[in-house]
Amino acid sequence: MVTARQLLLEAERRLAAAGVPTPGPDAEMLLAHALGVTRSRLGVLTALGDPVEAGSFADLLDQRAERVPLQHLTGRAGFRALDLRVGPGVFVPRPETETVAQLAVEEAARRTGPVVVDLCTGSGAIALAVATEVPGARVHAVELDPMAHAWARRNVDDLAPAVDLRLGDAATAFADLDGTVDVVVSNPPYVPPGAVPVDPEVARHDPQVALYGLGDDGLQVPRRVVATAARLLRPGGYVVVEHAEVQERAARAMFGAATWTDVDGHRDLTGRPRATTARRR
C-alpha cells in the first residue's frame, strides 16, 4: 500500500502530462472521491502519512487523463453555494455563469414574492441558485433536452422541490405566465457553428444541444430567448442573457426593439463580457 501523498504526487504528474489544466486540485478531488472523504479530511490523511486503500482511484485517474470531465467522474459540480448532480448528457455549469445568476438573484431580491423564469436551465443551476438564495421567490425552469431535464429533476428534488421544472422548448414555454414574470434569466446555447470548443472536456462531453446556438452567429437560440422574455415579462421586468465575449455587440442588438430599455452589458470575474440585461418597457 502507498500513502495519499505518494498517490497525489504521481497523479498530479500524470494529469499534467495529459494536459489537464488543474492537475493538483483534480488529483485531490479524485482521490477524496475514491476514498469517500472530504478534501479537508484528505489533507489530514496526507499529513499523517498513513497507507491508504485507493479503491477506484486508478480507474478514475485513467479517465481523467483521457479528459473525461472531473465532474462526470465525481458526479457533482459546485455552483455558488450549491452542490449539483451532473453527468453525461448535461452541460456542466461554469464559474462564469455564477455572475449571470448573481444578476438574477439581485434583481429578484429587490422584489416581494418575485416570479422568476430560467430558460434553457440545463442542470437547473441558475434556477436553484435563485430559489435557494431569494426567500419567497417563485421559480420556474424549462429544459428542452430529456437527458439534461432528468439531471435537473434530480437537483430540483434534492435542493428546492417547489421549483416548477418543465420539459419543453424555451421559445414556447410558460404561455400560462405571459405578462406576469419579474425576472427572466438564461444561459442558452450560443457557440457559433464551426467554433469547436478548445477544451476536450467541452468538445467531447458537453451535449451539442447545450453548446451551439444556431444561425451564422450562434445567436438564433438567444434571440428566441429574448422574444420569449418579451412575452413573459411584466412592464419593468428584467431579463439576463449569457453570451460569449465576442458576441457583446450582437447581444446588445438583440434588445434593439422598442420593447426594451436600460440595455446594459456585464463582465464576469475574469473581466470578459458575459451577459446582457434589459428591462421590459
| pLDDT averages per 10-residue partition of the chain, 281 residues | 93 97 97 94 91 91 97 97 97 95 98 98 98 98 97 98 98 97 97 80 85 85 97 98 95 95 96 97 95
Q: Give pTM, 2 decimals.
A: 0.93
User: How high is the pLDDT of residue 213?
Assistant: 80
Q: What is the pLDDT of residue 70?
A: 97
Instruction: Round to whole Å and give the CA distance between 108 and 31.
Output: 39
pLDDT at 215: 83
CB atoms near residue 146 (< 10 Å): 9
For 162-180, what is the HEC assignment? CCEEEECCCCCCCHHHCCC
Q: What pLDDT was estimated at residue 152? A: 98
pLDDT of residue 165: 98
H or E element, residue 277? strand 273-280
The three grid cell numbers given for residue 231, joined into one nine-digit string: 412575452
Q: 229 CB contacts (<8 Å, ≥6 apart)?
A: 119, 184, 186, 237, 239, 241, 280
pLDDT of residue 205: 85
User: How high is the pLDDT of residue 231?
Assistant: 98
Which grid cell sits at 57? 482511484
d(CA 80, CA 102): 9
C-alpha cell at 111: 422584489
User: What's the confidence (pLDDT) of residue 214?
Assistant: 80
Pick the closest to residue 251 from 270, 233, 276, 226 (CA basis).
Answer: 276
- Binding-site annotation: residue ranges: 143, 187-190
**Which cell numbers hold the place of 130?**
435563485
**Residues making up the binding site for substrate:** 187-190
pLDDT attached to residue 101 = 98
- In the annotated binding site for S-adenosyl-L-methionine, the residues are 143, 187
